[in-house]
Chains A and B, each alone.
Chain A
Amino acid sequence: MWRFIGLRLLQAIPVILAVITVTFFLVRIAPGGPFSAEKAVLPEVKAALEAQYRLDLPLSEQYVAYLGDLAQGEFGPSFKYPGRSVNELIGAGLPVTAELGFYALLVAILIGGTAGVIASLRPNSPQDYIPMTAAMIGICIPSFLLGPLLVLVFGIYLDWLPVSGWGDIPGDKILPAITLGSAYAAYIARLSRAGMLEVMTQDYIRTARAKGLPEWQVVIKHGLRGGMIPVVAFLGPAFAGLLAGSFVVETIFQIPGLGRFYVQAAFNRDYTMILGTTVFLSTLIVLFNLLSDVLAAWMNPRLRSQFGE
């Protein structure tokens, strides 16, 4: 197991390095410097600013210096908000986005998992069709459409829930979490249905039934563990998707999270912020993929024995 984790970590390093390198040079070749918009900046001021952002150094030295900063966990100053560092902005946005993502994942796993398991118990019956059709609808309605529609119905027409904000009014976290989580609930429903259908035909399930266990125990104790492996393996890619989805959801609901910062940075051409956030989010995603692979391997005894345990 440790060998497996170590190997995967080793594979992750070049990926993260590649991300840093590509992002760094892409941002540097982007047209228009951060100060070119400002009219008539005094040459001394410009020189001082350039020195502060290390723009006076040759590109290769900038790159090396940036890597050095990153190694110390330093993402550099923001172009757009002088005096604020990218670290501060990430520090402010990350807890919000993490909380949003957590609730969304909770929605996705609880609703999606339950629907998938229920559907798998009676394949090709209404008990299967209804949740699976709902899942297809969930996949086809994108978050940027679902969000406004939910706001329109529950926020404006019915006036049950707040339409925006985060942690200001009770209940304002419900709509964002559902908006972000629904598509993943749909995927998880399909995956857990397929996983359960396959597992429930295995010999050990027959053995469990033969022991005289009640059916719900067979499903929950014996079926779920195997049937949920595809879901766990999906969590890594889902995490990346949730982050991207938070761009939209945080914009719709005006949530001061990392996703909104990123989109704003993209509009403002705040290059250091884009660079820092991209590196940070990419590293997070790579690590999360790793975690989900390790978890899936640990849950699957056949895979586990392959790595000598």
Chain B
Amino acid sequence: MVTDTITDIAEAEKGTSLWQDAWLRLRKNRLALVGLFMLLAFIVIAILTPWIAPYSYEAQNLDLGASPPSAEHWLGTDVFGRDVLTQIMYGGRVSLAVGFLATSVALIIGVTWGAIAGYVGGRVDAVMMRLVDMLYALPFMIFIVLLMVVFGRNILLLFLAIGAVEWLTMARIMRGQVQSLRQQEFVEAAISLGLSPSTIIRRHLIPNALGPIIVYTTLTIPSVMLLEAFLSFLGLGIQPPQTSWGLLISYGAETMEEYPWLLIFPGMALTLTLFSLNFLGDGLRDALDVRGSKD
């Protein structure tokens, strides 16, 4: 009898882990789910583009010129007779790559910076966060334009420049998380066990702060992609022969009067991706919000 009761209690107390919980909540949010699947689809397409693109990236057909959507060219062709769908697929590879890579740069700098500031505390924290405050006040858009002018329009530099801008909020979020986690018993226990600060940060602090980091990462990717598209639109970002959605939109805007499909389809690709990421980010925020759950 006693064992039965114990099993009962164990079952009742089993509950769900944070991640199972979050997944259950996310599953109920239809918009976030649609966002997630659309995003996954875009990523898969981007990865497989060299094999599944209907035409080759360089293929031109000057005789055909710009033609509206048809059975051969689902999204039409541009003035050089290049297939728009193919262009969008290759452009998406670049746009998504910039989004994910630059966000990773921001993630690494921001999390490390915030974790150190929050963990060490005291004067180090004050100096580190004061620097973040100062950088916050800088007009970064102007600086990125400046960097692109000074160092040339280099895609690697673009990653670095955008990543270097976007880490600030990440650092603030991480610091807040670490500060509150640092007071908890399991961290004190880890300290008294003699673990090194870097181990404590890696093994105990970062995993426990993962929720807000994931949410914020999801919301950083669209703003990074927007930044890249913005620069490319101005002619200061991705350069031909490479292409990106921002560049395609910029070309499309030039000839939209005659060939509106050249503007509309790349625009839709970018907007749909931004939508997916924003809805997914909002959904994850609700799903992973530790404060608002479990009560």
List residues of chain A with CB under 8 Å of any chain B CB.
11-12, 14-15, 18-19, 23, 26-27, 29-31, 136-137, 139-142, 144-145, 147-149, 151-152, 156, 240-241, 243-244, 247-248, 251-252, 262-263, 266-267, 269, 274, 277-278, 281-282, 285-286, 289
Give bound CA distance, A244 to B226, whole Å: 13
Q: A142-B270, A274-B149 are in contact. Are A136 and B275 (CB under 8 A)?
A: yes
Do A152 and B134 touch across chains, with their CB atoms under 8 A apart? no
Do B139 and A141 touch across chains, with their CB atoms under 8 A apart? no
- CB nearest to A290 among chain B residues: B137
Q: A141-B271, A148-B252, A152-B260 are in contact. Are A15 and B137 (CB under 8 A)?
A: yes
Do A285 and B139 touch across chains, with their CB atoms under 8 A apart? yes
CB-CB < 8 A to A285: which residues of B?
Answer: 137-139
Give bound CA distance, A271 to B74, whole Å: 45
- CB nearest to A266 among chain B residues: B149
How many pairs, one residue from A and one from B, have CB atoms within 8 Å of each other in the complex?
115
Sampled A-B contacts (7; CB under 8 Å) = A26-B150, A136-B279, A140-B278, A142-B226, A144-B250, A243-B141, A278-B143
Do A140 and B274 touch across chains, with their CB atoms under 8 A apart? yes
Do A286 and B260 touch across chains, with their CB atoms under 8 A apart? no
- CB nearest to A285 among chain B residues: B139
Give bound CA distance, A19 to B148, whole Å: 17
Binding stretch for chain A, among B9-17, B86-94, B174-182, B229-237: B229-237
- CB nearest to A19 among chain B residues: B138
* 0/1 interface trace, chain B 214-233, chain A, CB 8 Å (1 if under): 00000000100010011001
Contact among B134, B145, B233, B249 for A18, CB-based, below 8 A: B134
Binding site secondary structure of chain A = helix
The count of residues in chain B whose C-beta lies closer than 8 Å to any C-beta of chain A is 41
Do A152 and B150 touch across chains, with their CB atoms under 8 A apart? no
Give bound CA distance, A244 to B139, whole Å: 9
Q: A240-B139, A252-B253, A282-B139 are in contact. Are A267 and B278 (CB under 8 A)?
A: no
The 10 closest A-B pairs by CB, nearest first: A244-B141, A148-B253, A30-B150, A144-B233, A140-B274, A145-B267, A285-B139, A266-B149, A15-B137, A140-B275
Contact among B141, B146, B250 for A240, CB-based, below 8 A: B141
Contact among B139, B149, B270 for A145, CB-based, below 8 A: B270
